[in-house]
Amino acid sequence: MTLNYEKEGKVAIFTLNRPEALNAIDPDLLGALSKAFCDFKKDDTLEVGIITGAGQRAFSIGADIKTMLPEMKRAQNNSYVQPPTIMRGLNLWKPLIAAINGAALGGGLELALACDIRIASEKAFMGLPEVNLGIIPGWGGTQRLMRLIPQAKAAEMLLTGKPIDAREAYRIGLINKVVEPDKLMSAALDMAELIMKPAPLAVRAAKQAMVQGLNLSLESGLRLEKSLFEMLATSGDFDEGCRAMLEKRKPEFKCR
């Protein structure tokens, strides 16, 4: 199986599982990712997802140059349609954490960029080397990196294709945390626990407002925020959150 998709309580764990190919994304893996993201989206028991790579060396080195990129070339003649993923085509408001265990290059970094939180091992390095192949990132790298980090740094990464190490990625705000390699998954699970404490509907609405709002004018963004706020204001979890706060107890959110 090119992807291990496991459910541990309310957490879904997606492990790219082609360690012998440094978790390069081939059409099979892309299809499996798409299916798993769709299941995660509709499974009401799941709240947070963690994406990581099998093996010690790589999170993912991007689209498989031997199989995936040729398919994309053929796609110019409409013979291959990419399945929807978080990089492109699938809106997913449940939070996602990338646990970057090694190299995250090209489409591998783009997968991590489509997550909300990125935690990296000290051994990780990341970059968008597509220009070296004569292409540009095609899974959102040019758009999401420019919105995430200072533009001068994004331009340097996109125009030179040179990777940066985890410390530098942390310094420029590309990742949230750097940890020792053997602490990576526990750090990601700790972050998932923190995200699962507040009301899930509110967390999802916060993500939707943040992600969709980035592409809107301030005025439209404020309208989006207002409509999501109004939706939450009628929820039972809002009543429960306020009551629990006043009664000095832990809230019991029911996701409605």
How far apart (Å, rounded) are the C-alpha atoms in residues 191 and 177?
10
Query: Shortest CA distance to 148 belongs to which of 123, 124, 178, 128?
Result: 128
How far apart (Å, rounded) are the C-alpha atoms in residues 156 and 147?
14
55 touching ligand HXC, by CB under 6 A? no
Which residue among 6, 66, 70, 245 contacts ligand HXC (CB under 6 A)? Answer: 66
Q: Measure Cα distances from 210 to 93, 214, 223 in Å.
A: 10, 6, 13
Nearest-approach distance from CB 190 to ligand HXC, in angstroms: 29
Task: Closer to ligand HXC by CB, 37 or 139: give it.
Answer: 139
Residues 76-105 that bind ligand HXC (CB under 6 A): 103, 105
47 touching ligand HXC, by CB under 6 A? no
138 touching ligand HXC, by CB under 6 A? yes
Nearest-approach distance from CB 61 to ligand HXC, in angstroms: 4
Report how many residues bind ligand HXC under the rule CB under 6 A. Answer: 19
Query: Shortest CA distance to 105 belongs to which of 137, 74, 61?
Result: 61
Q: What is the set of active-site residues?
A: 110, 130
Taking each helix axis from N to C end, the angle separating 27-42 and 68-75, rounded to the nearest 10 degrees, works out to 80
Residues 24-43 that bind ligand HXC (CB under 6 A): 24
Nearest-approach distance from CB 143 to ligand HXC, in angstroms: 12
Q: Measure Cα distances from 221 to 110, 216, 227, 228, 254 in Å.
A: 25, 6, 10, 11, 28
**Binding region for ligand HXC (CB under 6 A):** 22, 24, 61-66, 72, 103, 105-107, 129-130, 133, 137-139
